[in-house]
Amino acid sequence: MSQKPINLLEYESLAKQHLDKMALDYYASGALDEKTLIENRSAFDRYKILPKMLRGVSQRDLSTTILGQSLSAPILIAPMAFQCLADTRGELATATAAVKLDLGMVLSTLSTKSLEEVANYGKKLWFQLYIHRDRNLTRTLVERAEQAGYQALCVTVDAPILGVRECDRRNQFTLPPHLEIANLTSMKNLKIPQTKGESGLYEYFATQLDPGLTWQDLEWLASITKLPIAVKGILRADDAITARECGAKAIIVSNHGGRQLDGAIATIDALGEITAAVGDKIEVLVDGGIRRGTDILKALARGAKAVLIGRPILWGLAVSGEQGVADILSILIQELDNAMALSGCAKLQDVAANLIKQL
Ligand SMILES: Cc1cc2nc3c(=O)[nH]c(=O)nc-3n(C[C@H](O)[C@H](O)[C@H](O)COP(=O)(O)O)c2cc1C
């Protein structure tokens, strides 16, 4: 491809030429047979748009407010570990691009730049928390995020252990020696181990993360922080309701991009029942397979307030660093704007449930 990519799928093809096998497999793969990974995309095709005509769409407004934070469009960058595998500036480049477009970014616990350093570049930042067995370490991470100015915590609940990603097992995935899990190496000298015949990340989860977590741990988290909490990894209406009862202010309907439980429901399918059950009592966000502005439109019509974008950010980062991430975000904003105009929606509130039909 000699020309600059003009959509997210072209970025994905090009990124494959910029990444070594271990990094590419880690970024791209899903769990087991990757059925959920594939379904996250293909499920969008079952929802058809019923566009409205003659609605006066010359002035369009995509802006919104999520957990009290204004954003130029209903888009955040999903938490993704190890971004320095794609670009030397990694999470710093991603954070700078998010600022440029006035969008939110969720920083992973497993970032390759420290949360403090990223805070020097980012503005509308949330911190994604993996609750470790060591609760003192977990508490310190929360305190550090608060002190560094992060505006929400995103606690991931769909990873009591790591999903089985066979490529990572085969590659014996680990970080190259010049990279570290910056938030944790500095505190407890924690590292992604090198393991025979197994992914080092799988081993890290098995030894460091707590598979015994229950809803009481969410209440504990809410009791030790003033930051609003978003619970990431919800796929059922009853869990969404429990999350709210335990103090969450938002949920992220997510199957971890098909990387955890293979066979789990596609997120666009799970969304409708959840938003119907919780109403406006809690903010509902969604991620998984969003590659086009029309996917965002469909997610909003199914009741999401905003979406998170995962892998395409890494493809942008691998192709051209900060500029690549900014391009990915700009393309999505332009495509959403176009889809709204063509379906008769001047503002996000116009994107109602009756804008789509499930076939
Ligand atoms: C390489 C990679 C690393 C990820 N790391 C994390 C993480 O550290 N914490 C987390 O909650 N989710 C993580 N996720 C899941 C994403 O936050 C998100 O749920 C998913 O990527 C969305 O699907 P998409 O990639 O199809 O957009 C990761 C995903 C990828 C692809």
Residue 177 C-alpha to ligand 1 middle, in angstroms?
23
- The CB of 78 under 6 Å from ligand 1? The reply is yes
Does any ligand 1 atom lie closer than 6 A to the CB of residue 80?
yes
Q: What is the mean pLDDT of the chain?
A: 97
Catalytic residue, candidates 18, 132, 178, 256 = 256
Residues 332-344: pLDDT tens digits?
Answer: 999 999 999 999 9
**pLDDT at residue 195 is higher than 60:** yes
- Average pLDDT of the segment spanning 241-246: 98
Say if 1 falls within a structural domain. Answer: no
Q: Clarify whether 178 is annotated catalytic.
A: no
On the question of pLDDT at 198 being above 90, the answer is yes
List the residue whose alpha carbon is closest to atom 11 of ligand 1.
156
Sequence-ordered list of residues with C-beta below 8 angstroms from that of 307, at least 6 positions apart, any chain: 74, 75, 76, 285, 286, 287, 290, 295, 296, 299, 300
Average pLDDT, integer, range 304-317 = 98
Any atom of ligand 1 within 6 Å of the Cβ of 110: yes
Strand runs labelled E in the chain? 47-49, 64-66, 69-71, 75-77, 104-107, 125-129, 152-156, 229-234, 250-253, 283-287, 306-309, 356-358
CA 52 to ligand 1 centroid distance, Å: 34
pLDDT at site 2: 66
Q: How many domains does the chain have?
A: 1
pLDDT at residue 1, as a whole number: 53
For position 186, what pLDDT does the model report? 87
Q: How many angstroms does the Cα of residue 288 sit away from the middle of ligand 1? A: 9
> According to the model, what pLDDT value does residue 60 have?
98
Give residue 256 CA to ligand 1 midpoint distance, Å: 5
Long-range CB pairs of 194-200 (<8 Å, 24+ gap) are 196/172, 197/169, 197/172, 198/169, 198/172, 199/162, 199/165, 199/168, 199/169, 199/171, 199/172, 199/173, 199/174, 200/172, 200/173, 200/174, 200/175
Q: Which atom of ligand 1 is nearest to the CA of 254?
A: 19
User: How confident is the model over 278-299, as a mean pLDDT?
Assistant: 97
Task: From the CA of 256, give the closest atom in ligand 1.
Answer: 19
Residue 3 binned pLDDT confidence (cut-offs 50, 70, 90):
confident
| Residue 344 falls inside a structural domain | yes
What is the number of the ligand 1 atom nearest to the C-alpha of 37? Answer: 26
Q: Is the CB of 128 under 6 A from ligand 1?
A: yes
Q: For residue 301, is it within any domain?
A: yes
Residue 339 confidence (pLDDT): 98
287 lines ligand 1 (CB under 6 A): yes
Q: Is residue 39 one of the residues assigned to a domain?
A: yes
The residue to which tokens 């570049």 are assigned: 121
159 Cα–ligand 1 center, Å: 11
Environment class of residue 1 by beta-carbon count within 10 Å: exposed (0-12), middle (13-18) or buried (19+)?
exposed
For residue 205, the domain's CATH number is 3.20.20.70
pLDDT, tens only, 56-70:
999 999 999 999 999
Q: What is the mean pLDDT of residues 297-315?
A: 98
Tell me the two tokens of residue 290: 């969003």
3 in a structural domain: no
Find the 342 Cα to ligand 1 centroid distance in Å: 31
| Domain range for 174 | 8-358
- Burial class from Cβ neighbours inside 10 Å (0-12, 13-18, 19+) for residue 197 reads exposed
Asked if residue 226 is part of any domain, the answer here is: yes
Residue among 35, 256, 287 to mutate when testing ligand 1 (max atoms within 8 A of CB):
256
Residue 98 pLDDT grade (very low, low, confident, very high; cuts 50, 70, 90): very high
Q: Which atom in ligand 1 lies closest to the alpha carbon of residue 41?
A: 26
